[in-house]
């Protein structure tokens, strides 16, 4: 197994959908290419922002394959493969390995709450054993507010101890920086990615491997300046863009602002149970974003034409 080299600014990339609820792979891969060319060191495909758990197993496989078929650099991409069913998680992780993704991001199985760590250990063990022939690096996805199940630091250490270099890191979407710092000390080289770009200057010290952020879909150039040169002015601007969504629906909001930035209304669609960002919120966020960007060169559009249902 080649060790995953993912680090730096990673966008939790949105997944475009059409008005019938099918993944729009052309739009999605066009955005991926744009982000990699404009500040992102890597991408997290089919995470929370990518609405992974709202797609079927076959739809998720189709999106994964589209990234490979588009010729995107899969060595810079991790992909979400967690599922409530361990069999589905195995199938998705195997598919990610066969395609050549740099890592699999694994949520805990999220339906049953309050399960013991032994059950979570068994879930990961099955995935590790089932993918031994093509041992893709595994990143744990810690998002207890959504999944209802934490990857306790003690359990993380147990998994690393049992499976070694197969368990290479963790995405922390808890917002608990004490947890993130503790997790980063589990083992030498264990990579922790908080879910906010606000940590990027601290990450430059080696505290974290970077960030995996939903709003890096919108501010990747600013994040890149913060990560690569410690530019605190750029970081402040990036965080200001993130704060535009405080108190609002993040995923529909990010997609609405992608639509605004790239002048492509097709990006506003989301999968149930999410709903389209309200028009009033979209207007307010777009106006505020344009104001923040007023003294900067506006990003080139990704070139996808709007899909009208």
pLDDT band at 296 (very low <50, low <70, confident <90, very high): low
- Alpha-carbon Rg of the chain, whole angstroms? 18
pLDDT band at 294 (very low <50, low <70, confident <90, very high): confident
Instruction: Report CA 10 to chain centroid distance, whole Å.
Output: 7
111-121 pLDDT, tens digit per residue, is 999 999 999 99
> Angle formed by the axes of helices 216-229 and 232-243, to 10°?
160
- β-sheet bridge partners, residue 103: 78
Query: Residue 305, SS3?
Result: coil
Distances in Å between the Cα of 229 and the Cα atoms of 187, 193, 281 are 27, 18, 33
* DSSP-assigned letter for residue 306: P
Q: Which of 155, 189, 238 is nearest to 6 (CA)?
A: 189
| 95, 97, 99, 104: CA torsion to nearest 10 | 80
204-221 pLDDT, tens digit per residue, is 999 999 999 999 999 999
CATH topology of domain 8-229: TIM Barrel (3.20.20)
pLDDT band at 306 (very low <50, low <70, confident <90, very high): very low
Q: List the domain boundaries for the chain.
A: 8-229
Spell out the residues 6+ positions from residue 203 whose beta carbon is closer than 8 angstroms to its own.
194, 209, 210, 211, 227
Q: How far apart are the first and last CA of the chain?
A: 44
Judged against a pLDDT cut of 80, whether residue 78 lies above it is answered with: yes
292 contacts 240 by C-beta, under 8 angstroms: yes
Q: What is the pLDDT of residue 309?
A: 25
Phi and psi torsions of 184, nearest 5°: -65, -15
Instruction: Report CA 270 to chain centroid distance, whole Å.
Output: 16
pTM for the predicted model, two decimal places:
0.92
- Which residues are known to be catalytic? 141, 171
DSSP 276-304: PPPHHHHHHHHHHHHHHHTTSPPPPP--P
């Amino acid at each position: 197994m080649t060790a995953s080299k993912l680090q730096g600014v990673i966008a939790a990339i949105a997944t475009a959908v059409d008005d019938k609820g099918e993944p729009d792979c052309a739009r999605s891969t066009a955005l991926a290419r744009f982000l990699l060319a404009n500040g992102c060191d890597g991408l997290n495909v089919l995470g929370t922002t990518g609405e992974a758990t709202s797609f079927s197993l076959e739809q998720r496989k189709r999106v994964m394959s589209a990234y490979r078929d588009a010729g995107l650099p899969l060595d810079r991409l991790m992909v979400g493969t967690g599922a409530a069913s361990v069999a589905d998680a195995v199938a998705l992780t195997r598919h990610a390995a066969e395609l050549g993704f740099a890592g699999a991001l694994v949520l805990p199985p999220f339906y049953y709450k309050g399960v013991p760590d032994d059950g979570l250990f068994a879930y990961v063990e099955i995935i590790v054993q089932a993918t031994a022939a093509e041992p893709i690096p595994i990143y744990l996805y810690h998002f207890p507010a959504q999944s209802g199940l934490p990857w306790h630091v003690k359990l993380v250490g147990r998994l690393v101890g049992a499976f070694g270099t197969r368990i290479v890191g963790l995405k922390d979407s808890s917002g608990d920086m004490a947890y993130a710092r503790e997790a980063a000390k589990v083992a030498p080289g264990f990579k922790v990615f908080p879910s906010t770009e606000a940590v990027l200057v601290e990450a430059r010290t080696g505290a974290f491997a970077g960030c995996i952020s939903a709003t890096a879909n919108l501010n990747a150039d600013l994040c890149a300046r913060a990560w690569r040169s410690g530019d605190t002015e750029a970081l402040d601007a990036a965080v200001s863009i993130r704060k535009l969504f405080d108190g609002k629906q993040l995923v529909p909001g990010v997609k609405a602002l992608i639509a605004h930035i790239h002048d492509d209304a097709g990006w506003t669609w989301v999968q149930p149970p999410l709903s389209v960002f309200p028009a009033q919120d979209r207007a307010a966020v777009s106006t505020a974003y344009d104001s923040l960007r007023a003294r900067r060169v506006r990003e080139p559009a990704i070139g996808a034409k709007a899909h009208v249902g």
